[in-house]
Structures are given as C-alpha cells and as structure tokens.
Amino acid sequence: MAVSEDIQKQIDQAEELFFSGEEKEGFVKDLYFGRFRESSIFPYPELSVEDKQASDAFVEKVKEFCESEIDPAKIDRDAEIPLPVIGGLGDLGVLGMTIKPLYGGAGKSQFNYCRVMEVIGGHCASTGVFVNAHHSIGLRALELFGTQQQRETWMKPLAAGEKLAAFALTEPNAGSDAGNVRTTAEPTPDGEGFIINGEKRWITNGGIADVLTLMARTPDAADPEGKITAFLVTPDMEGFEVIESAMEKVGIRGTQTGRMKFTDMYVPKENILGPQGKGLRVALTVLDFGRTTFGACCTGAAKFALERMVARARQRVQFGKTLGEFPMVKAKIAEAAADTYAMESATYHTAALIDSGAEDYMVETAMIKVFASDQLWRIVNDCLQVWGGKGFFTDQPFERMMRDARLNLIGEGANDVMRAFIAAVGFRHVGRDLESMLKPGNWLKVPGAVLAKASVPVKHEHLRFHARQLSAQIGKFGWAIKTLLAKYREGAIEEQLPQMRLADIATELFMASCVYSRLSSVLNNGTIPESVRNHEVKTGVLYLKLARKRNERRFEDLKVNFDEDLVDVADSWLDCGFDQDWVVVPRNEEIGQ
C-alpha cells in the first residue's frame, strides 16, 4: 500500500531526525522484535550507600522547604509563584541541580534530580512545571549544545536562579507537530546575524525569562522550506515583544505561560545554539530529560493522591463501615498503588539509563510520559471519588489536582502524538529488517531469526510464573507488529487505531519489564525487612497482573474491533453541521456558510 506524498514527506523528515547516524541497540527496540534484552533491564538501578545518604539528606531539605515555603493553593489562586520561592529553590541548588559545578550547578545525577522533582511535583504541580521548564528543557539545552562562550555568559546565573530560562518552540500552528514551526530567521546581508520574525505562544516562563531557546526556520539549499535552528535570545533585543506574560488557563495556574512576538529582531550568529538546521534535534534531546522528570512529578502527585485516598478510606464511615471495607473502594486503592509503583519503576530505570551515558532513550521517555500522565489522571479522579462530596469543594486539593493533571496529557507532546511515535519507531525497525531479508510479496514467510521468542530470565522463584507470562506477551507483540506490517506495508504508518493499541501494548510491556526487574532486586535483597518486602512485592505483582490483562484486551482488539464503524460515523458527523435547534443539516447548508 503506497502512502500519500504528505505522509512520505513526514516519513523522510522522521528518518533524518530520529534515525540518522549509527543504528543503536536498546531494550525497547528489541521489544518490537519480540525479544527481551536482559542486559538493558537488569539489574534494577540503586544508589550506593554513600550516594543514597547524601540524596536522602537533600530530598529531606527540599521536603522541608516545600512544606514551609510553598503554598500550592495560594499559588493557584494568585496565578503566580512568589519570588522568594524561586530564590529559595535557587539557594537550595534545585534550579541547577544536574549542571556541572564548573557552570554553577550541583552536578547531581538525573536519578537524584528525579527524586527531588518527585517531591516538588507531589507538593505543587505549578512549581514542578516551572522548575522543569527552567532546568530540564531550558538550562539543559544550553549545557548540552552551547558553545564555551555561551555557557560562560549565561549558565552560572541561570543555575543559581538569578536568571530564568525558557524554551520557545510552540506556535499557533506548531506544538506536538514541532516540524511545523513558521517563525523565520533570515540571514543578514553581511552574514553576521539573522532577522527573526514570528510568534510563540504557551511558553512556560516565556514572559519572565531572561534567556530563551527560540526555534526558527533558517534557509537551506536542500529544502525549500528551510530547516529549524535553535537560537539564544533575550528580551532586551529590539523587536522582542511580550504580548501576554501570563495567559489564563485551566490548571498549573502558578506558571507564567507567555505569548511573544518577534518583529525584525536581530540575533547575532554567535547566538545559534547547536548546529544550524538541527534545532529539532536540540528540542527532542532536551525533551527526553523533561519527560523523565515529568514522570517523577507524576509519581509524586500519584503518591500524594494514594496517601489521601487511603486516609479517607480509613476514616470515613458510611452504612456502618469505613470506606476501606468496601471492595469497590479497595479496588481503586489497589490499582492506584500498582500503577504508581510502575510509573516510579520506569522513571528511575530510565533516569539511570541517562546517567549511564546511553545514547538513545527517546522511546522510553515517551512511554513514561504517556503512561504516567494517563494513570495519574485516573488516580486523581478515583481519589476524588473516594472523598465524595467533600473532595469536590475547594478547601480540599483534589479539584486543583484534577485541573493540574489534565495538562499532562497534552504538554511536552500530546499523548496521541506520542502513541503514534512509539508505534512508528517499531514499524520502522521491524520493517527495515523484514525488507532486507525478504523478497517483495513474501512478508508472511518470516525466518525465525527475525522474530525470535522472548526469554525472560527467572531471577527469583517467586517470579517464575510472571516471567513466563511476560515472555509470552513480548513474543506475541513481536508477531503482532509483523502481521500488521505484512497487511499494510508502508501504509501501516497511516493506520492510527491499530498503532494506538500497539503503542499501548509496547508501553505496558516496558513498564512491566521495569517492575519485573525491580521486584527481582527486592526479592533477592536480604536487608529489606520481611513485612516491607512482602508489601512491595504484592503491589508490584498486582501491577504485572493488571498489565497482562490490559494487554490481553488490546491484543483482542487488534483482531476484533469496530474501527471502520468508528471512522464512518466520525466522517458522517464531520460532514454535517447543525442549525439552531441542533438538527443535523448537510455541511453546505450549514448556517453561516
């Protein structure tokens, strides 16, 4: 099945962006082939005794600061994070936590940074997003791609919190579709700089930042539309205009989300960040860091909701029983605990992967982002349900948490787009191998070497059954991808509903693998008190069971579904309009047309 010209162009752009350079190996890549890469998932990461002691002490300081200085309800009401909070985070070292001491940072690992972001995100979502925007995707871009001069100029005051950073990518027509940036940067006749024109919106810290990483399209001889380049810009540049410094929004109201306009703004060529024409590579690299800390923030919020759910279930009495005695409430608590355990397990596995110097973790971070944001949304909703009418009022934090959590399904890549990306990576890797081994029209006759059966090692006898079940599902997933590619060939990239199911299967398998690895370490650790170990193992094993059941439904939906009916009914509604009485009329007769 051939693909359209537009789709082929998108495929070509994705090939250049995601798959240029040497082919990289990894755990998720092997999942797509139905294999389990043991070396990439074992052992589950742990801090050394010395590092854990230092990390625990720092986390405790951050907790104390959050409890004494950060009032999430007031931040939400005032739609502003107070300057003393920002200054305090800077003094603690949070705003430059992973930055090298040479540039004013604390030089901490991504793993330790995630521990801190879990605390902040669980206390105040607005503050978590603020820190993530400044550090993970603002300051981090400068450290990774900046020249020596750029780093020396800006990094120390940014790491100290004396100045703030922002990352300006999103436009009226470019958000999750990052390649659709329309802000332009035209070279000056003397070649010494660029003239930038365009608009950015929904930029966290955008209206208050001292340094912004700005994405703009520069001319390119090989591409009539040009290529996207990253620039460092400052608000004192002539032509830089803040249209709105704090746009009103549903949730995370404390963050200053800005809209800026650039009119004939001159930027010297020395302010290019990274290679010219490689701005999207800059953006996607720092978003990997941001999505990992995003998972940590979601984990912190989920733990808070779980704790409050348990407290309410113990105390609230209805019909002569505490809520915790009712099985429907127990089910909500148990599922929340299991999914929180999974998002935590995957977040810290991936943080350690980053710390190890691995070159490719883009799919893992996308999976964390999708899973953590989806599950947090459900967990907060279930928490409010357990709290009932009392939870609906604003003297409790749950309505604010729901508003805050809803952004997570959109921000840093909308979940639907992330699912398409997760699936597309699998199609690309498996499709390439199939094409190299098979003759056209013979895709169903696949050598066993291409899609081998998964083999999940048994690290503890208690997990033997779960290892066998995980092995079976990973192998089944590999064959499901092959079957879809055999059916649709290149056209598989346009089959979004099967893509969605395959992406969710892959994500759940990754989460389950991280949980399996973690449980293996827990069961083999003789220093953990038995009661603590049993509690953790019960929670993790429940997640493995829930994940397996969810995936069984998804596999079934790949075979038996109503996709054609869904598309047909949606097309019917899209082709119609409505009159004042909500009566359907053909679109060409729609009122006002």
- pLDDT averaged per 10 residues in sequence order, the chain, 593 residues: 50 51 75 92 95 96 98 97 96 94 93 97 97 89 93 94 93 70 95 96 93 95 90 97 93 94 97 94 87 95 98 96 97 98 98 90 94 98 97 95 96 90 85 59 48 81 97 94 83 87 97 98 95 97 98 97 94 79 63 44
Between CA 207 and CA 242 the distance in angstroms is 6
Q: What is the pLDDT of residue 224?
A: 86
Q: Based on the number of CB atoms within 10 Å of its own CB, is 175 exposed (0-12), middle (13-18) or buried (19 or more)?
A: middle
Q: Which domains does the chain have, with CATH numbers?
A: 24-42+426-561 (1.20.140.10), 49-164 (1.10.540.10), 166-280 (2.40.110.10), 290-407 (1.20.140.10), 562-593 (no CATH)
Q: What is the pLDDT of residue 288?
A: 85
Question: Residue 358 — φ and ψ, nearest 5°?
Answer: -55, 150
CB atoms within 10 A of CB 366: 25
Three-class SS state of 225: strand
Spatial CB neighbours of 124, under 8 Å, sequence gap ≥ 6:
66, 70, 72, 75, 254
Q: How would you label 197-224 residue by residue, b for 16+ Cβ within 10 Å and e otherwise? A: bbbbbbbbbbbbbbbbbbbbbbbeeeee
In contact, 565 and 556? CB cutoff 8 Å = no
- pTM listed for this prediction: 0.92
In contact, 484 and 495? CB cutoff 8 Å = yes
Between CA 331 and CA 338 the distance in angstroms is 11
* Nearest by Cα to 95 from 121, 125, 129, 132: 132
Q: What is the pLDDT of residue 306?
A: 98
Between CA 267 and CA 272 the distance in angstroms is 9
In contact, 333 and 323? CB cutoff 8 Å = no
**Catalytic center residues:** 412
Q: What is the pLDDT of residue 1?
A: 47
Q: What is the pLDDT of residue 451?
A: 47
Strand 211-220 versus strand 165-168 pairing type: parallel
Between CA 462 and CA 331 the distance in angstroms is 24
Question: Residue 164 — φ and ψ, nearest 5°?
Answer: -115, 150
Q: What is the pLDDT of residue 494?
A: 84
Q: Based on the number of CB atoms within 10 Å of its own CB, is 583 exposed (0-12), middle (13-18) or buried (19 or more)?
A: exposed
Three-class SS state of 241: strand
Chain mean position to CA 277: 25
In contact, 538 and 330? CB cutoff 8 Å = no
Strand 223-233 versus strand 272-273 pairing type: antiparallel
Residue 86 sits at the vertex; the CA angle it makes with 80 and 91, to the nearest 5 degrees, is 170
Q: What is the pLDDT of residue 393?
A: 95
- Terminal-to-terminal C-alpha distance of the chain: 37
* N residues, the chain: 593
Q: What is the dihedral of CA 293, 294, 297, 301, to 10 degrees?
A: -160
* Sign (positive or negative) of CA dihedral 479, 481, 482, 487: positive
Q: What is the pLDDT of residue 23?
A: 57
